[in-house]
Amino acid sequence: MTSGTDRDFASSGKSLDIYKRASTARILDLGFWGLTLSLALGGGAVLIWIILQTAIAGWPAMQLFGLRFLITASWDPVNNIYGVLPQIYGTLVTTAIALIVAIPVGIGTAVFLTEDFVPKFIRTPIAFAIELIVAIPSVVLGIWGIFVLIPTLRPFFRFLNSSLGWLPFFGGGAPRGNNLFLVGLVLALMITPVIASLTRSTFEVLPSELRQGSLALGATRWETIVRVMIPAGLSGIISSIMLAMGRAMGETMVAAMLVGNANRINASILQPGSTITGLIASQFGEAGRTQVAALMYAGVVLMILSLLVNIFAELIIRRYQNIER
Amino acid sequence: MGSIPDTTNDPSFEVPDLTSKAISGNRAIFGKVLTVISGICVALLIVPLSLLLINIFDKGLSRMTPELFTELPPPPGLTEGGIGHAIIGSVMTLAIGAAVSFPFGVLAAIYLAEFGRGTRIAYLVKFSANVLTGVPAILCGLFAYSVVVIPLGYFSAFSGGIALGVLMLPIVIRSTEESLLLVPLEMRQAAIGIGATRFQTIMKITLPAALPAIVTGLVLALARAAGEAAPLLFTAFNNSFWSTDPRGPIATLPVLIYFFSIIPYKAQQELAWAAALVLIVIVLISSLLGRMFIRSRRI
């Protein structure tokens, strides 16, 4: 029967075809694997590249000024003397003000949204609105700050200054509106949603036995929140605060537009100041060669500050997630 | 205070009062006070947000004319005009950023979710992407400045696009990876089971299944980058004229808002408000859509 040999031929041809396809498919597979792997490695390396590139660009200034850069309070393009002490001070003060406001408000909001104080059809839109704040571009908050917030808050700043001016951090001349306190408040508005939403998700993943046990022992709802939920979720809350802190330190436009960019250290938070980000944003446009290097050096300082905060937050989250599982 | 109910009919039977009235005065007041405080916390967030939105619509709507999108800003001292050049500039820098970061990020995420799940490399890449998300946006600008602007010697839309691309990259990687992880393992097993290769499985099964979620993530990344001014200040810089040249400086909406809000000309300030309104509408609509989509997907 010839048909048998025909079939043999056909099947052998087919199997050959399959082998052929399999080998090209394997090459394609390997190639794809290699491509995605190298891009994944590249994605991981971008962080290192950013750090290196900024450090290289700032290297001339690092050699020139060394660590004195951190304790010099002068930004003098004429004599080429640069230092970022006022900026470091301003960054830390505005971040601290933002955190002092944002931590209690954020945690309070998170509790309000987890507990059923109000019905769900009110809570859900509130939660939604709060998440929207995160999406608002900071430059929009900046223009709002300049034209609405400053005129609105100026009487309040003046009142603080005249009634509590004997306290060093409310002292100085009559506040004009651009100051560290204002920046701190706007930063607080930006980072409170971060703390609120992350703290809320921390509360949501806590085992419900914790809450039930506490309630069963006779604790009230608030005693349960204060003595059980918050301590149990503390690592999650701390990491949310760290992330918010990183956000506040790195925020540029709000600082550049509202801080007043005064290159001096004021004990009073009602006086204009400067932040690292504000300095870079406002000086870069007309910077000469050494000044660009100095600004890059300032960028490196900012990078180190924010990396420390971010890595710390990331490690807490990892540890915390491991406990959850 | 009335914690034991009247059970005179049967002295041997005492029903403990489990209602909130049984809680002593101090504890009840403590709870009430904290409830009020937490309500105030929410108000402290919601009130400024509503004020901000009201102000922006109030001040921006008057300039919402067709000219806003088609004309250049007026010279100082004159009125009228628009911000058309900045809209084009924003679209261009975003497109360049997307062209750089989308393929890069999606492919990297495919490795994380499909090949390298649970490996040390994947952990390190994810760690680095997470840290990169927290790196201040202005540092992406410094990076693009020293990588693109210094070697080329001029500010350009291209360098602005690179800065935005770096900014978007970690968001793209993370959101794409999460979208891919949502695809059930059984779909991959079924594909492998009928003889598909890994490449075919990913291209024909996993990616199409995750595509809507991936696109949502990409849109959210674009929305985030669209509002950033800091990385563009010294990469795309600014331009007062029409430009579609990727090798030259270009105006963008956020940078225009920044420059126009700090100069003392009324027409420019009005344009800045109008630009803020355009920007906030774009960003809010895209993030609303994105969040609604993510929410509907999870349920």
Contact call for A39 and B142, based on CB within 8 A = no
A161 or B298: which carries more pLDDT confidence? A161
Distance from CA of A2 to the nearest CA of B (A): 32
Residues 284-303 of A with CB under 8 A from B: 284-285, 295-296, 299, 302-303
In chain B, the percentage of residues whose pLDDT exceeds 70 is 90
Is B138 in contact with A306 (CB distance < 8 Å)? no
- Positive or negative, the CA dihedral A191, A193, A199, A201 is negative
Q: Check if A196 contacts B (Cβ < 8 Å).
A: yes
Residue B13 to chain A, least CA–CA distance (Å): 21
B265 interface with A at CB cutoff 8 Å: no
pLDDT at B4: 54
The arithmetic mean of pLDDT across residues A8-36, rounded, is 71
Phi and psi angles of residue A82, each rounded to the nearest 5 degrees, phi first = -130, 145
Contact A43 B129 (CB under 8 A): yes
Q: Kindly report, residue by residue over B101-150, the tens digit of the pLDDT.
A: 999 999 999 999 999 888 888 989 998 998 898 889 999 999 999 999 88
Inspect the interface and report whether the beta carbons of B136 and A277 lie closer than 8 Å: yes
B40: chain A residues, CB-CB within 8 Å: 108
For residue B118, what is the enclosing H or E element? none
| Pairwise CA distance, residues B241 & B82, whole Å | 11
A217 in contact with chain B, both atoms CB, cutoff 8 A: no
Contact check, Cβ <8 Å, A147/B59? yes
Could B284 and A132 be called an inter-chain contact, meaning their C-beta atoms sit closer than 8 Å?
A: yes
Number of alpha carbons in the 13 Å side-chain half-sphere of residue A147: 25
Asked whether the predicted pLDDT for residue B2 surpasses 50, the reply is no
Confidence tier at A263 by pLDDT (50, 70, 90): confident
Asked if pLDDT for residue A18 goes beyond 80, the answer is no
- Cβ-contact B228, B137 below 8 angstroms: yes
Contact B261 A143 (CB under 8 A): yes
B63: which DSSP letter? G
Distance (Å, whole) CA A226 – CA B41:
16
Residues in A 263-282 with any Cβ partner in B closer than 8 A: 277, 280-281
pLDDT digits (tens, 9 = 90+) for B220-237: 999 999 999 999 988 888
Residue B34 has pLDDT above 50, yes or no: yes
φ, ψ for residue A81 (rounded to 5)?
-115, 120
Predicted ipTM?
Answer: 0.86
Enumerate residues 69 to 98 of chain B having a beta carbon within 8 A of any beta carbon in chain A. Answer: none
Q: Do B146 and A141 touch (CB under 8 A)?
A: no
CA distance, residue A284 to nearest chain B CA (Å): 7
Q: What is the pLDDT of residue B12?
A: 57
Phi/psi region, residue A177 (left: phi>0; alpha: psi -120 to 50; beta: rest), is left
Distance (Å) of CA A59 to CA A126, B142, B172: 48, 14, 31
Residue A224, chain B, CB below 8 Å: the answer is no
pLDDT band at A325 (very low <50, low <70, confident <90, very high): very low
- Coil vs helix vs strand at B244: coil
Two structure tokens written together for A155:
């009487």
pTM metric for this prediction: 0.87
Task: Name the residue among A204, A213, A209 with its Cα closest to residue A233.
Answer: A204
CB A252 to CB B269 under 8 A? Answer: no
B154 touches chain A (CB under 8 A): no
Sign of CA dihedral B147, B150, B153, B159: positive
**DSSP tag of A68:** G
Q: What is the Cα–Cα distance from B70 to B82, expressed in whole angstroms?
A: 6
Length of chain B, in residues? 299
| Buried/exposed code over A119-128 (b: 16+ C-beta within 10 A; e: otherwise) | eeeebeebbe
| Amino acid letter, B261 | S
Strand segments (E) across chain A: 75-76, 81-82
Which residues in B lie closer than 8 A to residue A307 (C-beta atoms)? 131, 135
Band (pLDDT 50/70/90 cuts) for residue A324 is very low
pLDDT at B258: 93
Instruction: Establish if A140 touches chain B: CB-CB under 8 angstroms.
Output: yes
pLDDT for A6:
47
User: Could B166 and A39 be called an inter-chain contact, meaning their C-beta atoms sit closer than 8 Å?
Assistant: no
CB-based contact, A91 to chain B, within 8 Å: no
DSSP string, B198-210: HHHIIIIIIHHHH
Q: Report pLDDT digits (tens) over B175-192.
A: 999 999 999 999 999 998
- Asked if A114 and A123 count as a contact pair (C-beta separation under 8 A), the reply is no
> In terms of DSSP bridges, do strands A81-82 and A75-76 run parallel, antiparallel, or are they unpaired?
antiparallel
Residues of B in contact with A144 (CB under 8 A): 52, 55-56, 276
On the question of pLDDT at B298 being above 60, the answer is no
For the cut 50, the answer to whether the pLDDT of residue B299 exceeds it is: no
| Closest listed residue to residue A106, CA positions, set A258, A304, A247 | A247
Highest mean pLDDT out of A87-101, A218-232, B74-88, B142-156: A87-101
Give Cβ neighbours of residue A17 (< 8 Å, ≥ 6 apart). Answer: none
**Nearest neighbour of A46 by CB, restricted to B42, B169, B227:** B169
Mutate which of A21, A32, A245 to test chain B, going by most B C-beta atoms within 10 A?
A32
Interface test with A, best of B139, B169, B224, B255 (most A CBs within 10 A): B139
Tell me whether A223 touches chain B (CB under 8 Å): yes
> Is B54 a residue whose pLDDT tops 90?
yes
Comparing CB atoms, the residue among A25, A42, A256 nearest residue B199 is A25
Task: Determine the residue type at B3.
Answer: S
Query: How many Å apart are CA A61 and CA A297, to the nearest integer?
Result: 6
B230 touches chain A (CB under 8 A): yes
SS3 call for A178:
coil
Look at residues B271, B168, B184 and name the one whose alpha carbon lies nearest to residue B227.
B168
Backbone phi, psi, residue A248, to 5°: -65, -40
